[in-house]
Amino acid sequence: MSTMTSTPRDAALPREIWVLLAASFLIAIGYGIVAPALPNFATSFDVGVTAASVVVSAFAFVRLLFAPMSGRLVTRFGERPIYLWGVSIVAVGTLLCGVAADYWQLLLFRSASGVGSTMFTVSAIGLLIRISPPELRGRASGLWGSSFLLGGIVGPVVGSGLVTVSLRAPFFVYGGALVLTTLLVWWQLRDSELVARPAEESGQRMTFPQALRHSSYRAALASNLANGWVVFGVRMSLLPLFVTAVLNQDEAFTGIALAVFAAMNAAALLYVGRVSDKRGRKPPALLGLALLAAGALGIGLASDPWVFLGAVVVTGLGAGALNPAQNATVADVLGSKARGGSVLAGFQMAADVGAVAGPLIAGAVAEQWSYSAAFGLTAAVAVVALLLWCGAKETLPAKN
């Protein structure tokens, strides 16, 4: 087991990381910009709710399918070119969505955007791992998560305003912003020696089966699946239904609950990254999963709005505590010099599987039995990941 190390509070992250953080913030804003428009835009082509839902879910489904190929592309060609190509594909796909003439064109262009999305996600994580100093990986991962979260908060506000102008306007604005983001990243990183991969490292590779031999990587896969299940799946699909069906509250209360979750998530992300660099990855991961499980269970048992909001606070803190620790763990397992596109793709796929399976399975349980059972199952998923983390090795690099 690695010995713990302390990290200077004034240690600076490389400039290239701040470029990636700024780009991720802009990309996340764009996700939020198109979110309010996409379902309504789909139904404007005289299709039903189910067909509109397919357009929404197609993006995540294609991300999941294409993730292994993205990993191989990153291993073969490197992170920087795949990142730029990925953002470019999303930009073109989004702009084409804005000019779609029928439902099938919209579905095709939105699905193509999912291909680009997984390309830049896997490559961005790879870059973040490779250029982050080992002793600052937790902090970098926390800032990375915060940039996406804050962008996701700002985006829907901007998107709601654009929808009043036109259902097509959000796609044009987001597509144009992605073009500018691509140019910004290319310009800022084109001559970076830190980003460029030295030729002597070209033979160093870690495969997915090799990574699976590490107990810490297996634990990170399980926790990322739980994170996708809770945060990207059940939170967005089942929680709004619970608010109206069980608590008898309106959509405005749902908005408050989601805002509380985001605020707690952001607060934990900014703090826990430093903790994981000083005290280790395992303690915050265990704490985060315990809070996720307790929060999900509390939500399912809540009958009072204030008790419900308290459980949401716990869940948000849990998600924020977990993410920097598990991301830094994957970085530690892979190392800064190894090529491991399939390792990163597998980690990303775990979250996508949770995000796709969570709403389907938990929704079916809620419909067949109860919301309490559905959120209880969600808590059980987090508990399974917690048990795997109990047996995982600490990966925090030893101080030289």
157 in a structural domain: yes
78 in a structural domain: yes
341 vs 343: CA distance, rounded Å = 5
187 vs 184: CA distance, rounded Å = 5
233 neighbors 336 (Cβ within 8 angstroms): no
Where among 174, 197, 220 does a domain terminate?
Answer: 197
Residues 191 and 51 in one domain: yes
Residues 241 and 281 in one domain: yes
pLDDT at site 10: 46
Residues 220 and 166 in one domain: no
pLDDT at site 260: 86
Which is nearest to 144 in space by CA: 286, 310, 330? Answer: 330
145 vs 71: CA distance, rounded Å = 21
Residue 258 CB partners (closer than 8 Å, separation 6+) = 235, 239
Residues 257 and 378 in one domain: yes
pLDDT at site 108: 94
**Token duo for residue 289:** 């999963």
Residues 184 and 243 in one domain: no
pLDDT at site 226: 95
Tell me which residue range forms the domain holding 151.
13-197
pLDDT at site 88: 94
Which is nearest to 138 in space by CA: 14, 289, 277? Answer: 277
129 neighbors 338 (Cβ within 8 angstroms): no
Residues 305 and 273 in one domain: yes
Residues 244 and 99 in one domain: no
User: What CATH number corresponds to the domain at position 77?
Assistant: 1.20.1250.20
Residues 367 and 258 in one domain: yes
26 in a structural domain: yes
pLDDT at site 5: 41
63 in a structural domain: yes
Residues 213 and 193 in one domain: no
271 vs 289: CA distance, rounded Å = 16
Residues 275 and 295 in one domain: yes
207 vs 188: CA distance, rounded Å = 30
Average pLDDT by consecutive 10-residue portion of the chain (400 residues)?
A: 42 80 84 76 79 75 84 82 92 93 92 89 81 77 76 74 83 91 87 63 70 93 93 79 84 79 84 84 94 95 93 94 89 71 83 84 86 94 96 79
Torsion of CA 218, 219, 225, 229, to 10 degrees: 160
4 in a structural domain: no
For residue 355, what is the DSSP state?
Answer: H
Environment class of residue 221 by beta-carbon count within 10 Å: exposed (0-12), middle (13-18) or buried (19+)?
Answer: buried
Residues 192 and 282 in one domain: no
63 neighbors 114 (Cβ within 8 angstroms): yes
